[in-house]
């Protein structure tokens, strides 16, 4: 114990070099932990977002692309699909539920999704949890009126909307949109409970309202006088059949039916479609990003190695300066193995401080990155302690630090023996 | 309306699926106690040719391949899950020997006819295998093995999509990795 106090004081005495060493190790540990934590958390977040969907159907495109634009709002669809296709899919015997989605509008940079009541009743996130409308009418009464909008938790929080507020949607998906659908304002009639998925970042209107918004907008801008006003839109609500959709979420009755239907959709002769199984497509995505992750890991591991070598350098270079100190210790009754232990303990303390600080840095980085990921992908990063196996790796690094210290320790051990016998000035 | 349909069809006929030669694929789905396996194995992987058998040797190879696939020897599961293979049916396509022995093949595909003609046109031959399995303790299922490599040296890789209560994932099996581990 006395040796440990001594080690501590010795480190404090050389605090500048020690702090630099600790920082080197801390940054390397921080990088190592962060790479893994982020990877874990992002994957978790992606899986949470599509947990209850068996198939996603969209225009024929790359599976990853379809998943990214339909669920995460990354990129956009190359083509839309026909409303009749939706109806045909809905009629398939193995289909339990079908949720259509039409994208293309936004509100203050948040995505607006045209859908049906089925979305609120069937869509599941996280651990097979259904959507909950926290404030406002229940899911069964959603979209009673044409101009109702249900908003995600994050939208409500960020923009300060409550029930009854009137909002205007914008044409297109840019943050700053010059064209707004201001003739047809919507009323907030529901606020969803937070889910930690991209749903929190979206607004939901009925497909019919989505269609009503775009009457007269066929060329991309509104033809003067061609749009509907609220009253005429309401009157013709029944005639407002959607024409195209961006994607369709499907839930099937049995898991075994998923593959058959997927194949049939992919081979559908009438319209070129793609059907994807979200989990398998995510895996495909990880396979691609996995290469980058692996590289980052190797880099992080090398940086850790550099940190430990840095510590070795510091211990070795100070060894000469500390000859007097060692001699005094020896004169006071310290045995050579005490001196060696002292050096190992010092290294242990440095490595420990580096690891603790590194984990703290990783947590801080996660905390700083969370809003960015939330904004870009709608995924919540929760602050997580490193997992058990990560602690194992960190423990291994600490042990490696101790082993590295054996080099100066053995040098000191031999030297103090010699120093003790030779008479030197 | 008719004219529209005709033009639509004319355009649609230019869709072609991506065919990768020698790619064996399949899926496995767990629904409660029922487990279903379905595989598409190219003739190349099984017997080394994709046409009707032309001589005694090829006929023998073909018969033997079908016999191996029709047995349930190649399917193994976590013993604790107590799985029993209730049926395995191998159906060949494009080998000329029209052995559609599939009395159990009850899928009502709308496009079945299309599928059929596609394979014939493409000059490919394959064997589809469908297996039904009942597991008494499906919650104890942690792996499945498809031992389809020793008997078929040409079979280098088998990609299987797997859906369980917990996960959806893709497994790539090779002669060295015949086991699908649940994540």
* Amino acid A13: pLDDT: 80
DSSP H or E stretch at residue A95: strand A95-107
Does B114 sit within 8 Å of A255, measured CB to CB?
Answer: no
Buried b (16+ CB within 10 A) or exposed e, A342-379: bbbbbbbbbbebbbebbbebbbebbeeebeebbeebbb
Does A272 sit within 8 Å of B163, measured CB to CB?
Answer: no
Interface test with B, best of A61, A128, A255 (most B CBs within 10 A): A255
Between CA A142 and CA A148 the distance in angstroms is 8
Chain A residues in contact with B169 by the CB 8 A cut-off are 279-280, 283
Chain A residues in contact with B29 by the CB 8 A cut-off are 254-256, 258-259
- The length of chain B, given as a count of residues: 183
Residue of B nearest to A254 (CA): B31
- Indicate the residue of A254, A260, A267 with minimum beta-carbon distance to B31: A254
Give the relative orientation of helices A388-421 and A336-377 as an angle to the nearest 10 degrees. 150
Chain A residues in contact with B27 by the CB 8 A cut-off are 259
Q: So where are chain B's domains? A: 2-15+24-181
Q: How many CB pairs under 8 A join A and B?
A: 53
* Amino acid A354: pLDDT: 93
* Amino acid A222: pLDDT: 64
* Amino acid A240: pLDDT: 75
Residue of A nearest to B110 (CA): A264
Residues 6 or more apart in contact with residue A338 via CB below 8 angstroms? A3, A329
Does A264 sit within 8 Å of B110, measured CB to CB?
Answer: yes
A148-151 and A202-206 strand pairing: antiparallel
Residue of A nearest to B25 (CA): A259
Note down pLDDT in tens along chain B; length 183 residues. Answer: 444 444 555 555 677 766 667 788 999 999 889 999 999 998 888 888 888 888 888 899 899 999 999 888 899 999 999 999 999 999 888 887 654 444 343 444 444 444 444 444 456 788 999 999 999 998 899 999 999 888 888 888 899 999 988 888 999 999 999 999 988
DSSP H or E stretch at residue A304: helix A278-321
Does A267 sit within 8 Å of B29, measured CB to CB?
Answer: no
- Indicate the residue of A255, A269, A279 with minimum beta-carbon distance to B169: A279
Does B15 sit within 8 Å of A269, measured CB to CB?
Answer: yes
Chain A residues in contact with B181 by the CB 8 A cut-off are none
Residues of chain A whose pLDDT is less than 70? 1, 173-178, 216-228, 237, 417-425
Query: End-to-end distance of chain A based on CA atoms, in angstroms?
Result: 32
- Closest of A163, A186, A45 to residue A105, by C-alpha: A186
pTM reported for the whole predicted model: 0.79
DSSP H or E stretch at residue A373: helix A336-377
- The length of chain A, given as a count of residues: 425
Angle subtended at Cα A237 by Cα A235 and Cα A241, rounded to the nearest 5 degrees: 150
* Amino acid A136: pLDDT: 86
Does A278 sit within 8 Å of B163, measured CB to CB?
Answer: no
- Is the four-CA dihedral A33, A34, A35, A38 of positive or negative sign? positive
Count the alpha carbons within 13 Å of A250 in the hemisphere toward its beta carbon. 32
- Closest of A169, A187, A189 to residue A179, by C-alpha: A169
Distance (Å) from the C-alpha of residue B170 to the closest C-alpha of chain A?
A: 6
Structure tokens at B12: 């649609």
Report residue A221 CA to chain centroid gap. Answer: 36
Do the interacting molecules here have an ipTM over 0.95? no
Going from the C-alpha of B68 to that of each of B37, B64, B100, B160, the distances in angstroms are 16, 6, 16, 19
* Amino acid A216: pLDDT: 66
């Amino acid at each position: 114990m006395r040796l440990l106090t001594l080690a501590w004081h010795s480190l404090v005495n050389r605090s500048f070099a020690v702090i630099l060493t600790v920082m080197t190790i801390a940054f390397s540990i921080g990088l190592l932990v962060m790479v893994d934590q982020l990877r874990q958390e992002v994957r978790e977040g992606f899986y949470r977002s599509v947990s209850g969907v068996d198939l996603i159907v969209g225009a024929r495109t790359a599976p990853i692309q379809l998943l990214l634009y339909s669920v995460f709002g990354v990129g956009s669809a190359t083509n839309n699909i026909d409303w009749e296709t939706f109806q045909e899919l809905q009629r398939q015997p193995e289909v339990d539920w079908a949720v259509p989605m039409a994208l293309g509008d936004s509100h203050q940079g948040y995505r607006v999704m045209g859908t049906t009541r089925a979305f609120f009743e069937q869509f599941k996130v996280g651990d097979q949890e259904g959507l909950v409308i926290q404030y406002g009418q229940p899911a069964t009464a959603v979209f009673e009126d044409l101009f109702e909008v249900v908003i995600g938790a994050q939208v409500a929080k960020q923009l300060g909307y409550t029930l009854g507020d009137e909002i205007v949607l914008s044409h297109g998906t840019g943050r700053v949109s010059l064209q707004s659908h201001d003739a047809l304002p919507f009323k907030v009639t529901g606020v969803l409970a937070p889910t930690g998925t991209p749903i929190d970042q979206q607004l939901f209107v009925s497909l019919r309202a989505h269609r009503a918004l775009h009457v007269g907008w066929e060329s991309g801008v509104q033809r003067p006088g061609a749009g509907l006003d609220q009253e005429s839109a309401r009157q013709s609500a029944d005639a407002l059949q959607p024409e195209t959709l961006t994607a369709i979420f499907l839930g099937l009755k049995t898991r075994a039916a998923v593959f058959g239907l997927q194949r049939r959709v992919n081979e559908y002769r009438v319209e070129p479609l793609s059907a994807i199984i979200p989990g398998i497509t995510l895996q495909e995505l990880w396979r691609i990003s996995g290469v980058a992750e692996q590289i980052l890991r190797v880099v992080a591991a090398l940086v850790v190695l550099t940190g430990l070598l840095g510590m070795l350098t510091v211990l070795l270079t100070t060894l000469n300066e500390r000859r007097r100190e060692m001699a005094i210790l020896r004169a006071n009754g310290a045995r050579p193995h005490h001196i060696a232990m002292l050096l190992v303990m010092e290294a242990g303390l440095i490595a420990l401080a580096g690891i603790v600080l590194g984990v703290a840095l990783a947590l801080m980085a996660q905390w700083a990155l969370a809003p960015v990921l939330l904004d870009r992908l709608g995924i919540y990063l929760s602050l997580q302690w490193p997992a058990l196996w990560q602690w194992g790796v960190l423990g291994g690094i600490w042990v490696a630090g101790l082993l590295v210290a054996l080099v100066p320790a053995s040098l000191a051990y031999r030297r103090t023996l010699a120093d003790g016998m030779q008479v030197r000035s | 309306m008719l004219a529209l349909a005709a033009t639509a069809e004319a355009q649609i006929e230019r869709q072609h699926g991506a065919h990768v030669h020698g790619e064996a694929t399949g899926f496995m789905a767990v629904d409660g106690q029922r487990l279903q396996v379905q595989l598409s194995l190219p003739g190349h992987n099984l017997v080394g040719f994709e046409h009707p058998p032309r001589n005694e040797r090829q006929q023998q190879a073909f018969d033997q391949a079908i016999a191996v696939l029709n047995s349930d020897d190649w399917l193994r599961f976590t013993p604790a899950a107590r799985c029993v293979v209730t049926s395995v049916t191998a159906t060949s396509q494009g080998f000329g020997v029209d052995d559609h022995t599939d009395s159990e093949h009850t899928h009502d595909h709308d496009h079945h006819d299309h599928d059929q003609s596609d394979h014939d046109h493409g000059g490919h031959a394959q064997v589809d295998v469908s297996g039904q399995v009942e597991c008494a303790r499906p919650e104890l299922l942690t792996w499945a093995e498809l031992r389809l490599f020793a008997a078929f040296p040409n079979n280098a890789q088998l990609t299987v999509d797997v859906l369980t209560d917990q996960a959806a994932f893709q497994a790539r099996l090779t002669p060295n990795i015949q086991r699908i581990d649940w994540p």
